[in-house]
A and B are shown apart, each in its own frame.
Chain A
Amino acid sequence: MEVLANIFQSILDMGAAVFLPIVLTIIGIIVGLKPAKSFSSGLTLGVAFIGISLVIDFMGTTVGTASQEFVTNLGIQLNALDMGWAPALGLAWTWRYAFLMFPVQIGLNILLLIIGWTATLNVDMWNVANKIFTAYIVASVTGNAIIGFAVAIIQIIAELKNADATKNQLQELTGIPGVSMPHPMFLSNIIFYPISRLLDKVPFMRKTVNVETLQEKIGIFGETHVMGFIIGTLVGLFGGQGIQSLMTGVQAGAALTLFPMVSKLFMTALTPISDAANNYIKKKFPGRDLVIGLDWPILAGNSEIWVAIIFTIPVALGLSLILPENIVLPFGNLMNVCVCAAAFISCKGNLKKMLFISWIMVPILLWSASSFAPMLTQLAIDNGTSLPDGQLMAWWGMDISEIRWAIVEALQGNIFGYIGVVGLAILSFFYFKWQKEEEHNAGVRMGIIDSK
């Protein structure tokens, strides 16, 4: 017995890269995958963890070091480097209780379907990590994983409710019937939507602009590796590296190109399992009209989103240098989807309104990223990443930054946190009321609801 316990302990000590492939292989066999296929998926997950660790290492020592020279040279205090959403959510899977979120989300979703609280079946398994991330940060500040899961459960319910409340509008935008979007980023619309309504009162804001031509003009600057190269080179130049800055530029481009390559391994590993689980659920609900909950990229063809994102980058970089209390240099997540894709829905693609919202969100994203940086750095270190002394890793542009921040502050007894949470509750009431109206109108425009 003791031998077994020792072996088990040693496996746990080796961390997520060894432990979780075993867990995933076992889950795979339980949900009915062939053992060989299950093992292959499990091992892919381990490979993804090692890959993430390697790329964060690389980013910390190359771009991280350069950005340290840059901050000393300019006399500012930015010791946390934004690594972007993919590695941040990848790291979330390494949290000790991460895999419990799978049964929690799936089980809760089924329960809500049965009692008729939702029509949405969320099949987006990547964003289980977004719930894990919430649970992890809450558990970090409260020291209690159960509170973490409790907050994550509220998030799951809110996501499904929001998906239900906007599905006609989504159908009008994409032309796909029977889908909805339970991605957490759209919960930010509780705040963005009222702002958008206010902005409608300004005639200048109401006029739309042609974004197609704008996007063509942006061209290669919107490509990830080119963006990385430009930012890296600038950081190097201001850091006093001289001609060496070109090397920093290429390294920065490499870091941003390599992240997607290793991060997509997570989905390669998780897809067979989520497929099996979804088939199982669909069999349990035969003949019922399920609305399928998908991740946000079905909106990615809309140029407005990308144009708004790119025009926010200078604001983000500029503000990061002068904003008091900020320690984060936006980098990996400069192409920050979570605000602009959510605002796209609230503003119905009106670029001026989207930019207004995206710009006023920048300081909030910076402060919350600064506040969460130590927790994220701890996860990276636990996953075996070694960072230079004093170097922190952060996630600028985290989904629902403002909501997570308010909740975490409230849980720590901060009065502004309480105000934030109460404010959110009040806004939610009006938001869901307004969505009913929007849904009805969208339904009438598409001819799926009678106009009376």
Chain B
Amino acid sequence: MIKMKLIIVACGGGIATSATVATKINDKLRELKLSSKAKVEAVDIKSLDTHISTADLYVSITPMAKKSKEYSIPTVNGISFLTGVGSEDTMNQIVELLDLK
């Protein structure tokens, strides 16, 4: 059996915004029949370093105009899941980066 890929989304408390995005990505994975290959979890950004070490992909919803941090796993900008504009493209990017198909 292949190990399930873990995607994480972080926000201020791991409660509201990140959970919204996690639910949306999980739904899309289900639509694409990929929910057995990957799952998404909402986490607390204050413990991000701990979660990064066990995850395969980080969906960031905290963009910075000037400085951006480097992480040890691939990172995708997930703002489109909040605004609803361009979320299909972001989803394709996630599927590709994790090699789910």
Interface residue ranges, A against B (CB under 8 Å): 85-86, 123-127, 172-176, 178-179, 222-225, 259-260, 263-268, 271-272, 274-275, 278-279, 282, 292, 294-302, 306, 335, 337, 341
Asked if A267 meets B45 with Cβ closer than 8 Å, knowing A86-B13, A300-B11, A300-B12, the reply is no
Is there an interface contact between A264 and B79, defined as CB atoms closer than 8 Å? Answer: no
Which B residues, 27 to 69, have Cβ-Cβ distances below 8 Å to chain A? 27, 42, 44-47, 50, 60-65, 69
**B46: which of A223, A265, A294 is its contact (CB, 8 Å)?**
A223
Q: How far is the CB of A26 from chain B (nearest CB, A)?
A: 20
> What residue in chain B is nearest A278 (Cβ atoms)?
B84
Q: Is B5 in the interface zone, CB < 8 Å from A?
A: no
Chain B residues near A264 (CB, 8 Å)? 14-16, 18-19, 22, 42
Chain B residues near A223 (CB, 8 Å)? 44, 46-47, 50
Chain A residues near B100 (CB, 8 Å)? none
Q: How far is the CB of B49 from chain A (nearest CB, A)?
A: 9
Beyond A260-B13, A267-B16, 19 additional contacts (C-beta under 8 Å) are: A86-B15, A127-B16, A174-B64, A179-B79, A225-B47, A260-B14, A260-B44, A266-B15, A267-B20, A268-B19, A268-B22, A272-B27, A278-B84, A292-B83, A292-B85, A294-B17, A294-B82, A296-B17, A297-B16
Chain A residues near B15 (CB, 8 Å)? 86, 259-260, 263-264, 266-267
Is there an interface contact between A298 and B79, defined as CB atoms closer than 8 Å? Answer: yes
Is there an interface contact between B62 and A267, defined as CB atoms closer than 8 Å? Answer: no
Asked if A297 meets B12 with Cβ closer than 8 Å, knowing A174-B63, A178-B83, the reply is yes
Q: How far is the CB of B35 from chain A (nearest CB, A)?
A: 14
Is there an interface contact between B83 and A179, defined as CB atoms closer than 8 Å? Answer: yes
- Give the number of residues in B that approach A within 8 Å (Cβ atoms): 33
Is there an interface contact between A300 and B45, defined as CB atoms closer than 8 Å? Answer: yes
Is there an interface contact between A298 and B61, defined as CB atoms closer than 8 Å? Answer: yes
> What residue in chain B is nearest A292 (Cβ atoms)?
B83
**A298: which of B14, B27, B62, B84 is its contact (CB, 8 Å)?**
B62
Q: How far is the CB of B90 from chain A (nearest CB, A)?
A: 13
Is there an interface contact between A301 and B42, defined as CB atoms closer than 8 Å? Answer: no
Of listed B16, B22, B42, B47, residue having the most chain A CB within 10 A: B16
Assembly CA distance A124 to B61 (angstroms): 14
Asked if A123 meets B82 with Cβ closer than 8 Å, knowing A86-B15, A224-B46, A275-B24, the reply is yes
Q: How far is the CB of B64 from chain A (nearest CB, A)?
A: 5
Q: What are some 6 contacts across the A-B interface (CB < 8 A)?
A: A125-B20, A263-B13, A271-B19, A272-B27, A306-B46, A341-B12
Assembly CA distance A51 to B63 (angstroms): 32
Assembly CA distance A402 to B85 (angstroms): 36
Assembly CA distance A172 to B79 (angstroms): 15
Assembly CA distance A268 to B27 (angstroms): 10
Is there an interface contact between B62 and A297, defined as CB atoms closer than 8 Å? Answer: yes
Is there an interface contact between A176 and B23, defined as CB atoms closer than 8 Å? Answer: no
Closest 8 CB pairs of A and B: A301-B62, A267-B19, A175-B65, A297-B11, A264-B19, A126-B16, A271-B23, A297-B17
Assembly CA distance A86 to B20 (angstroms): 14
Assembly CA distance A282 to B84 (angstroms): 10
